[in-house]
Amino acid sequence: MKGSSVVVFVMRRFAVAIPLLLIISFGVFALVHIAPGDPVRSLLGARASDPATLAAIRERYHLNDPLLVQYFKWLSQVVQGDLGVSIQGNRAVTSTIADRLPVTVFLSLMSTVLVLGVGIALGAVAAFRRGTRLDRAVVMFGVVGISSPAFVTGIFLLYVFGSLLHWFPIFGPGTGFLDRAWHLTLPALALAISVMAIVVKITRAAMIEELDRDYVTFARARGLSSRRIAFAYVLRNALIPVVTAAGLIVVGIVAGAIYVEVTFSLPGLGALTVDAVQKRDIPTIQGTTLLFSVFVVLVNLAIDVIYTLIDPRIRFGRVES
């Protein structure tokens, strides 16, 4: 009963996501045509423009077909995992992305864990110690973090912990799990600090609100342990708004990864995108943009599902108002 309703809900949300993905894919596809100049020239890049190459490109990208036909042909290629060929190295875009993906995924995951873990903990501590110096210090830290861009924080961290203290490496992605984690600590931290304030603020506000609730007072009046109240009552209820914001935060982290990868010279997707934009490498831009967009849609879908799992009011649907 309960399981099936969740499945139905997920299917329904999925059905809504599909048209959205189609619209996005069309936008990405249209990049070739929106870019100034002849699409063939854009796709040609630095190669010599002899008629044979031009014809090959027209054939490869179906540029002789009507626009919609072009789109569907392109889409079916994309679905089969063919994102075209990068104009720079004549390499398949998918394999370039596959090379760069692990660093970005590692960085974003590490950063997300830091933001949610440390952010929620700080927010909770601030709420429980509301009005104290600790509370003000936490809030202040958040404000400083959010008002300095990730690349500024990154350079600062690099200088202090990399150059001055030599605690962390200042360059490269590292190999193997531990080495990579060690190499990516500073970038992940820089990324995390820039969005952590949102989590801290939302958690703090939600917890303060929860602490005032009747059911918390009632739980205290019944003599429940402070741990039980803090976790099962205050934190669990306060997490609902935090989860809502988590979707935005994860997306923000992935977007912020672009700056951080450039700042720390990491060979990730962000650096790849920046590079592709500078070189007007449209197939690569299409590939990374599409990947980011699908990711954003999927994150939102995941958040909606998590949301129904923690808030039974949505799962069961209110019986009455």
Partner 1 sequence: MNTAVARAGQEGPLLTVEGLAISHGAVPITTSLSIVVERGETIAIVGESGSGKSLTARAIAGILPPGINAAGAVTLDGMPLMRLAERELRKIRGFRVSMLMQDPFTMLNPLLRSGDHIDEMLRGRPDFASRAARAAEVKRRLAEVGIVDEDVARRMPFQLSGGMCQRVALAAALARDPELLIADEPSTALDVTTQAEIIRLLRRVQRERHMSLILITHNLRLAFSTCERIYVLYAGSLLEVGDGAAVERQPFHPYTLGLLLSEPPADIRVPRLVAIRGSVPRAADVIDRCGFADRCDWAKQICRASKPPLAARDASRFTACVRQDEIQGELDALRTAALSAAPITLRRDETEGPLVRVDALVKTFVGPRGRAIRAVKDVSLRIMPGESVGLVGESGSGKTTLGRCLVGLETPTAGDIRINGLAAADFGAMAKADRARVRQTIQMIFQDPYSTLNPRHSVGQALSEALGASAGATGPATPERIATLLAEVGLSAAYATRRPASLSGGERQRVAIARALAVKPAILVCDEPVSALDVSVQAQVLNLFKRLQAEHGLSYLFITHDLAVVRQIAERIYVLYLGEIVEEGPTERVIGDPKHPYTRRLIESIPRSANQDAP
Q: Which residues make up the interface to partner 1 (CB under 8 A)?
A: 130, 212-215, 217-226, 228, 232-233, 236-237, 310-313, 316-319
Residue 199: Cβ within 10 Å count: 24
CA 173 from centroid of its chain's CA atoms = 19
Q: CA angle, 143 as apex, 292 and 148 as ends, to 5°?
A: 55
| Cβ 2 vs Cβ 315: under 8 Å | yes
Residue 222 C-beta: closest distance to partner 1, Å = 4
Residue 196 C-beta: closest distance to partner 1, Å = 25
Nearest to 229 by CA among 240, 218, 245: 218
The pair of structure tokens assigned to 3 is: 């399981």
Which of 167, 316 has the CB closer to partner 1? Answer: 316
Which of 27, 312 has the CB closer to partner 1? Answer: 312
What is the enclosing helix (H) or strand (E) of 314?
A: helix 312-316
Which of 133, 318 has the CB closer to partner 1? Answer: 318
Residue 121 C-beta: closest distance to partner 1, Å = 20
Query: Tokens 């959205």 belong to which residue?
Result: 20
- Cα first-last separation, the chain: 22
Residue 28 C-beta: closest distance to partner 1, Å = 36
Residue 221 C-beta: closest distance to partner 1, Å = 4
